[in-house]
Structure 1
Amino acid sequence: MVWIAGRSPGATAKAQLAEASGATYVSTAEVPLVAVADEVGGFDVVIEAAGDAQVMLDTLALLRRNGVACLLGVDGHPRKVSLDARVLGVDTILQNRAVLGSVNAHARDWEAAVSRLGQSRARWGDALDAFVGLRVAVDRFEEAFEFRGVKATLQFGDG
């Protein structure tokens, strides 16, 4: 089962798209993720892409035994964040949890991703296109910042 978490309430376009793709959406404004993890017995894999150092640390408490946290976000803000010492010093070690980070991929990984896009399109139809809800020229970047759908992109050139 796939779970997707976001700060927005459950009735947003992001939540609807997640559910249309077969995932269960959880609003962290409504339910703490640790409560969901407790209810389901923890997660095998947690992929963090928020770019918030506190969220990155919090992923450790969401994992079950042998779980993996993949940190993709980057948080360059100079601030202190906190972590329950037991989560790091006992749970992470004794339950063999792993943490890895990634910022890029080899060319063969990009090629595999493009192949998987085709498989996803075959499986979920138009849901894949809905992930990018707004495409605007770079000179209209303000619209992208104001957009409240799933994802906005800037287009350079005639593309």
Structure 2
Amino acid sequence: MRALTVRPHVRNSLEVRDLPEPVPEEGQVLVDGLAVGVCGTDREIVDGLYGWAPPGRDRLVLGHESLGRVRQAPAGSGFSAGDLVVGVVRRPDPVPCGACGRGEFDMCRNGQYTERGIKEIDGYGSQTWCVETAYAVKLDARLERVGVLLEPASVVAKAWEQVERIGGRSWFDPERVLVTGAGPIGTLAALLGVQRGLEVHVLDRVTEGPKPSLIEALGATYHTEDADEVMRSLVPDIVIEATGAAEVVFAALSGNARYGIVCLTGVSPVGRKLNVEASSINREIVLENDAVVGSVNANLRHYQQAAEALAQADLAWLERLITRRVPLDRADEAFTAHNDDMKVVLTLDLWGDPT
């Protein structure tokens, strides 16, 4: 089989290689890979900035945004040949910490978790892969063209769950949400906001390409003004921050509604400095009972929530999120950014249609 591999911390080591087909262990599903999504984490690994190979190896099979079709499943597992499935990314640490021991491995306290295609476990970027039944999620068969969006949607589902749990500390009846950033995470966050019946606004600096029309097709409002200006005009109850841009983060912290919640999902670059009046921001957060929470990764519950959200969404709209499908043997092209990229997907099946 063919697989997308890289040497972590070695720049430009991306290579599609022939590897032996995996043999499923007890309790595992054997899957024919259909597609794998490419995201910023994958690009950082390819750039040599991140990632860990499995112990005793120097190369890692990339790919954590998976989609495949079951070829073989254990009897009584709930999976059958032909099922559309996605594999969960993270695995709990071996200790385990209290969170991992309760299935909340996305909140690991000691950092000893592992991750498919990122940290010490091969990913899903191969034409055949195995996954434990406990870490496989079955999808509606109608999602064959867009099911690869499940992993980023799971990250968004967790963010919304965190917001709603924090809101539940008192009476909370939000009306307006601002999503900052209209990439795949931000756009999916907007989708889940619309599904909740909220008034959704999305802020991004891009004025052309697919982003504005995707947001408008949701029935949400697209903004390109200065972040402080948008915050002043909207005073949102909830902000889902998906840019990691320091100026936008601090605008969100200082301009949301009383008893507002800011959920940070964008990772800021290291080394950039910004002069802010921290005392004023602290004063507003305290006096207005605001809450700020960081959110990353997802556990099995969030994957299931995301699967339900995608199944309820307009399939044609979801397909518009995938702006390029690149065959595995031309993988280099998927890691070369285009101006109008939203989600880039590598097709893994030999007979798949990359268009």
Q: What's the TM-score once normalised by structure 2's chain length? A: 0.39
Residue 327 of structure 2 corresponds to residue 137 of structure 1 = yes
Query: What does 1:88-127 correspond to in 2, within 5 Å?
Result: 88-121=281-314, 125-127=315-317
Check conservation: 2:244, 2:267, Cα contact below 8 A.
yes
Which stretch shifts more, 129-138 or 80-89? 80-89
| Correspondence for 2:346 | 155
Amino acid aligned to 1:153: V
Residue 249 of structure 2 corresponds to residue 59 of structure 1 = no
Instruction: State the Cα deviation string for residues 38-78 of structure 1 (Å, max 9, x = none).
Output: 223x1111111113233322220231101111111112421
| Correspondence for 2:265 | 72
Question: Structure 1 44/92 Cα, relative in aligned 2: closer, same or farther at 3 Å?
Answer: same
Check conservation: 2:231, 2:252, Cα contact below 8 A.
no
Q: Following the alignment from structure 2 to structure 1, what is the Cα–Cα distance between the partners of residues 324 and 333?
A: 12
| Correspondence for 1:33 | 227
Amino acid aligned to 1:21: L
Percent of residue pairs bearing the same amino acid type? 32
Check conservation: 1:65, 1:97, Cα contact below 8 A.
yes
- Distance apart, 1:96 and its partner CA: 1.1
Q: Helix, strand or coil for the counterpart of 2:345?
A: strand
Check conservation: 1:134, 1:153, Cα contact below 8 A.
yes
List structure 1 segments (4+ residues) > 6 angstroms apart after TM superposition: none
Residue 203 of structure 2 corresponds to residue 5 of structure 1 = yes
- Distance apart, 1:85 and its partner CA: 2.9
Amino acid aligned to 2:304: E
| Correspondence for 2:214 | 17
- Distance apart, 1:143 and its partner CA: 5.4
Amino acid aligned to 1:14: K
Instruction: State the Cα deviation string for residues 77-104 of structure 1 (Å, max 9, x = none).
Output: 2132232335422211111111101111
Q: Helix, strand or coil for the counterpart of 2:237?
A: strand
Instruction: Pick the structure with more helix per residue.
Output: 1
Check conservation: 2:263, 2:295, Cα contact below 8 A.
yes
Check conservation: 1:137, 1:156, Cα contact below 8 A.
yes
Amino acid aligned to 1:37: M
Amino acid aligned to 1:83: V
Q: Helix, strand or coil for the counterpart of 1:2?
A: strand
- Distance apart, 1:144 and its partner CA: 5.5
Check conservation: 1:46, 1:62, Cα contact below 8 A.
no
Q: Helix, strand or coil for the counterpart of 1:105?
A: coil
Check conservation: 1:134, 1:147, Cα contact below 8 A.
no
Gaps of 5+ in 1: none
Check conservation: 2:334, 2:345, Cα contact below 8 A.
no
Amino acid aligned to 2:204: G
Structure showing greater radius of gyration is 2
Q: Following the alignment from structure 2 to structure 1, what is the Cα–Cα distance between the partners of residues 200 and 332?
A: 32
- Distance apart, 1:140 and its partner CA: 4.1
Q: Following the alignment from structure 1 to structure 2, what is the Cα–Cα distance between the partners of residues 143 and 109?
A: 27
Q: Helix, strand or coil for the counterpart of 1:64?
A: coil
Give the paired residue count: 151
